[in-house]
Amino acid sequence: MAEIPTAPVTRLMRNAGAERVSEDASQALVEVLEEYGEKVAAKSVALAKHAGRKTVKAEDVLEAVA
C-alpha cells in the first residue's frame, strides 16, 4: 500500500499544467516518488549516522539530494 496519497500527487500534476490526470498516472507518480523518497531517506540517515547523530536534520536531506 502506498504511503503517499494520490490526491496531492494529482494536484501537483495539475499545478504543473495538466488539465486532466488519470488515476494510473497519479499512481505511477506516487510509486516513483516513494521509491526516490526512500533512497533519499536512506542516504539522509547514513549522513546523520556518519556525523554521529541519531537525528536526521534538513541539512542531511539537502545533502542527500545534492
Distances (CA, A) of 21 to 4, 11, 17, 38: 17, 9, 10, 25
Distance from C-alpha of 6 to C-alpha of 58, rounded to nearest angstrom = 25
Q: Which of 18, 54, 61 is nearest to 10 (CA)?
A: 18
- Residue 11 has a pLDDT of 97
Indicate whether this model's pTM tops 0.85. Answer: yes
Give the Cβ contact number of residue 12 at 10 Å. Answer: 14
13-62: per-residue pLDDT in tens? Answer: 999 999 999 999 999 999 999 999 999 999 999 999 999 999 999 999 99
Domains of the chain (ranges; CATH) run 6-65 (1.10.20.10)
pLDDT at 1 over 90: no
Q: What integer pLDDT is reported at residue 27 of this predicted model?
A: 96
pLDDT of residue 2: 80
